[in-house]
Amino acid sequence: MRLLKSLLLASAAGLLAVSAAQAADIPTKKAAPVAPKPNCYASFYTWLDSTAADCPLSAFGITVYGTVDMGGGYNSHAAKFNDNFPNGIQEKVSKDSNDGKWQKVPNGLSQSNIGVKIKEQVVPSWYVIGDVNFGFDPYSLKAANGPASLVDNNLISSTRQDLISANGDSSRNGKLDNTRAYVGVSNATYGTLTFGRQYSLTNDLSGAYDPFGGAYAFSLIGTSGTVEQGTGETETARYNESFKYLLTYNNLRASTIVQVGGWQQGNGAKDAFQIGVGGDYAGFSLDAIYAYAKDAVNLGTWGSITTTPAAPWTPESLKATIADVNAAVVGLKYKWDKLTLFSGYEYAKLSAPSDFGSAGSDIVVGRYYTFNGGYPAQIQKNAFVDPEHLQVIWLGAKYGVLSNLDAAVGYYYEWQNNYTAIGTATATQAYTTACAANTTAAAPGATPQGANHGSCSGHTDVVSAMLDWRPVKRVDVYGGVMYSHVTGGMANGYIHDSNTSFTSGVRVNF
């Protein structure tokens, strides 16, 4: 018993000694408390100097966000401003580019927009997500609406293009969801599945692999929706009634989007899908996408017509050129310190539409459809009896001169084959028998440009440079230049074959 007591006392003494030694190592002062984050709503300046991610306009899982982008500039050969046209003006040379002009320039760096998005956890690791976004012209507040810009210029004679304002087809159709509108679920392990009106995978890729992020004022990809985003047909840059699935595993990713509605749901094609794969390694990023669209639509104007088409034709009825599209797009970039290098390639084959064949007249007389949310148009089905092979390559770089100042440069080259097809010439013929130099002036006093038909071979060159300064985190002050030049079939009917566009502006994100 005495031995047991002696062992217990000795053990207790040892424990006390060890405890005392450990106590000597305990700091005598408490660690400094973590400084609280500054209140980003303390003043208007502190809000401007925060990011939308750090200081969102959120409550109950709902976030309101948007962008306002306003500027001005000079074009050596300009088309008149049009507040329906998403770009406002045409920075790249177009058929309608005529005299030099100083003009207001909306959306030079990105489309002005306002949106509402949700992200709400429903069970651990699973979230319900959604996004509705509306693009607009910041000067007039009118909805971005490519088809309406075509209607504004329908039936103006092709010999009086000097009277035409900026216009072009677009998947933005003036609706409240003209950018996107979808809902879905998200999980870090199993990926993201969404349904609704959504960007195509190629549209997503343009923002990631273009040195200008798809900016209207500086990028061929941004200013021309047929390049890369729409893979030859701009209306396929967005899908209505579509399922989209994105999955990331370590540094690898896979994606797909499938359209489940057709023309009746406002889609630019009867059927369409895209599949993508990509990954990141040692500063490199690579994504590759295959795209297919059946009976894809490109809306356009008629110019003057000599005979009145059959009912239900009206002066607002547009021309719908239909094609099947098979395309592939690859984007590659490399980031090293402050420098990012960009490159990409697109190949698109536009062929005769599946549901209309190639025989018979160009125009299905009296046959009208409704496209892009309500615009009537008459089908032109024989533009691609011989397939068009459209290709684009681009190179660029972006460098962080300062922590809040970036410089970007880019070069784009787009070209097409000669896809003219021999046929009987009519007033509505979509192709010609041979390619030669154009001899018909597009406007009084203008010199004829390019080849005698748009299906003749030709190319487009675009060179751009830009500075983007961020005095505070939510504000971009930018300026730059874009030079564009067209030849051959790509210059058919143009008043001038080149344009130099100088643009500066201010963008505010909220």
CB distance 240 to 184 below 8 Å:
no
Q: With bands split at pLDDT 50, 70 and 90, how would you rate the model's confidence at 17?
A: very low
Query: What is the distance between the alpha carbons of residues 169 and 237, in angstroms, rounded to a whole number?
Result: 11
- Domains of the chain: which residue ranges? 62-509
- What's the mean per-residue pLDDT of the chain? 87
End-to-end CA distance of the chain: 80
Query: Percent of the chain having pLDDT more than 90?
Result: 65
Q: What is the mean pLDDT of residues 268-276?
A: 96
- E strands, 138-189, are 180-187
Give the right CATH number for 62-509 from 2.60.40.1940, 1.20.140.10, 3.20.20.80, 2.40.160.10: 2.40.160.10
Write out pLDDT tens, residues 24-55. Answer: 444 445 566 666 677 888 888 998 999 888 89
Read off φ and ψ for residue 234, nearest 5 degrees: -60, -25
Confidence of residue 351 (pLDDT cuts 50, 70, 90): very high
Compute CA distances 176 → 85, 164, 376, whole Å: 16, 27, 20
Half-sphere exposure (Cβ direction) of 272: Cα atoms closer than 13 Å: 38
Dump the DSSP string for 97-126: --S-EEEEEESSSS--EEEEEEEEEEETTE
- Answering whether pTM is above 0.95, one says no
Q: Which of 431, 489, 439 is nearest to 460 (CA)?
A: 489
pLDDT of res. 383:
83
The structure tokens listed for 43 are 């003043």
**Residue 374's pLDDT band (boundaries 50, 70, 90)?**
confident
Percent of the chain with pLDDT over 70: 86
pLDDT tens profile 167-193: 999 999 999 999 999 999 999 999 999
Each residue of 102-150: pLDDT tens digit?
Answer: 999 999 999 999 999 999 999 999 999 999 999 999 999 999 999 999 9
DSSP state at residue 387: P
Tokens of 280: 């990141």
| Four-residue CA torsion sign, 319, 106, 133, 392 | positive
Give the residue among 150, 325, 357 at the shortest CA–CA distance from 226: 325
In contact, 388 and 350? CB cutoff 8 Å: yes
Calculate mean pLDDT across residues 412-427.
Answer: 74
Q: What is the per-residue DSSP string for 58-89?
A: EETTEEEEEEEEEEEEEESS--B--SSSTTSS
Q: Give the separation between CA 254 and CA 197, rounded to whole angstroms.
A: 20
Q: Which two tokens stand for residue 4?
A: 């047991």
pLDDT of residue 308: 64
Distance CA 41, CA 294 (A): 50
The three-state secondary structure class of 24 is helix
Contact 467, 477 (CB under 8 A): no
Residue 365 clears pLDDT 70, i.e. is over it: no
The Cα 341–Cα 285 span in angstroms is: 10
Residue 364 has pLDDT above 70, yes or no: no
pLDDT band at 342 (very low <50, low <70, confident <90, very high): very high
Check residue 42 and give its pLDDT. Answer: 86
Which tokens is 195 given?
A: 């349904």
Reduce the DSSP state of residue 19 to 3 states and report it: helix
Sign of CA dihedral 165, 166, 172, 175: negative
pLDDT value of position 439: 85
The whole-number average pLDDT for the span 45-72 is 92
More confident residue, 378 or 396: 396
* In contact, 342 and 333? CB cutoff 8 Å: yes
Residue 38's pLDDT is: 74
Question: What contacts 283, CB < 8 A, 6 or more positions away?
Answer: 334, 335, 336
- Is residue 31 within 8 Å of residue 81, measured between CB atoms? no
CA distance 237 to 3: 89
Is pLDDT at 1 greater than 90 in this prediction?
no
Q: How many residues does the chain have?
A: 510
Strand locations in 317-428 (E):
318-336, 339-351, 363-371, 375-380, 388-402, 405-416
In this predicted structure, what is the pLDDT of residue 181?
A: 97
11-25, 138-152, 158-172: range with lowest mean pLDDT: 11-25
Comparing CA positions, the residue from 222, 356, 199 lying closest to residue 291 is 199
